[in-house]
Amino acid sequence: MEKLRVVHYINNFFAGIGGEEKADIPPMIKEGAVGPGLSLNAKLGDNGEIVATAICGDSYFGENLEEAKDALISMIKVYNPDVFIAGPAFNAGRYGVACGTIAKAVEEELKIPVITAMYKENPGVDMFKKDLHIIETAISAADMRNTVPKMVKLILKMAKGEEILSPKEEGYIERGIRVNYFSDKRGSDRAIDMLLKKVKGEEFTTEYPMPVFDRVDPNPAVKDLAHTKVAIVTSGGVVPQGNPDRIESSSATKYGIYDITGMNSLSANDFMTVHGGYDRAFVTKNPNLVVPLDVMRDLEKEGVIGELANYFVTTTGTGTSVGNAKGFGEDFSKKLVADGVGAVILTST
């Protein structure tokens, strides 16, 4: 078999262009392997070669999804690839979404095998696991050495048209696709075997794993709102002009706490929204639509609430992993409790 022509996709960071300050670079393409592509190339050996590396900044991709996707597809087509590899993205949320988006687009438009790799809590996993083979990685790029061989092994099997085995055998994340197979034991026997192991406290593997959902018990209702300190928390991405903490427009990895002491409303001259998941035009003109400071001040003056906290907490919700969101809440809740906040107005979009 001739060497496979491979095109590889990476973001601004893995391309060595820069970090968050370069996340707004538009799509580009470079000849040959770049960054982690060097490891992929080495593992491909005589089976394939990265002929080009497509690159795009994470913020640019998230904020200009259709334009970025179309531009990248046009660039990738020129190299007539046999297979396409994106990432690995590990737990970088925006990068994972970009890898999934462009991999799916390449698969649909170029009709070639594609593969990517992510940590299980990357938001790109839930978005694309039914569409793509996503190799499961550890949380950080420290797992690159283990991830690259799995990606190469599976993409070569796909290119050769070989049978793709189970997620456990191949190392990819379960896609929710059920496949018929022949077993030497009937279903009732297997069920009894599992039941007996469960009763004995022995390890067993279910044939049909069920999804696990968090259950959060609601707190009791606020008894005396007129004497309660209230804070505003939002996932609507409202930040001071210039976004000083560089909160991402999607797949957020951070949150911000901003002072509103002495303010009766949020001015469009001082505040903006960076959220990448809704039409920002109205909020750009009036940030109070997402952070209702004006209404809360009225309620404070009327005595409906006891006091409004002198800051609000903000992040972007779109694409943000459950793990990150829980981490944010656990972190800033400590400050809210320490500051005597008894209730929160939580706004989204």
pLDDT tens digits for 42-85? 999 999 999 999 999 988 998 888 899 999 999 999 999 999 99
Which contiguous run of DSSP H or E holds residue 86?
Answer: strand 83-90
Listed as own residue / partner, the contacts of 202-211 with beta carbons closer than 8 Å and 24 or more positions apart are 209/174
Cα–Cα dist 289/271, whole Å: 12
Contact 345, 292 (CB under 8 A): yes
User: What's the order of all strands across the beta sheet hosting 256-259?
Assistant: 256-259, 307-314, 229-234, 343-347
Backbone angles phi, psi at 226, to 5 degrees: -65, -15
Query: Tokens 């694309």, residue?
Result: 128
pLDDT of residue 166: 86
Q: 37-44 vs 144-160: helix axis angle to the nearest 10?
A: 50
Cα–Cα dist 44/52, whole Å: 14
Cis-peptide into 220, omega within 30 deg: no
pLDDT of residue 122: 87
pLDDT of residue 1: 63
Per-residue pLDDT of the chain (349 residues; tens, 9 = 90+): 689 999 999 999 999 998 878 888 999 999 999 999 999 999 999 999 999 999 999 889 988 888 999 999 999 999 999 999 998 999 888 899 899 999 999 999 999 999 999 998 888 888 899 999 999 999 888 999 999 999 999 999 999 999 898 888 899 998 877 777 788 899 899 999 999 999 999 998 888 777 777 788 888 999 999 999 999 999 999 999 999 998 988 778 899 999 999 999 999 999 999 987 778 889 999 999 999 999 999 999 999 999 999 999 999 988 777 778 888 999 999 999 999 999 999 998 7
Whole-angstrom CA distances from 159 to 6, 9, 18, 156, 266 are: 11, 18, 33, 5, 55
Question: Which of 232, 233, 322, 237 lies closest to 279, judged by CA?
Answer: 237
Q: What is the mean pLDDT of the chain?
A: 92
pTM comes to: 0.67
pLDDT of residue 250: 77
- Output b/e per residue, 273-283; b: 16+ Cβ within 10 A: bbbbbeebeeb
Domains of the chain: residue spans and CATH: 4-170 (3.40.50.2300), 225-347 (no CATH)
For the chain, counts of helices (H) and of strands (E): 11, 12
pLDDT tens digits for 167-200? 888 999 988 777 777 888 998 999 999 999 999 9
Look at phi and psi of residue 207 and say left if phi exceeds 0, alpha if psi is from -120 to 50, else beta. alpha
DSSP conformational letter for 112:
-
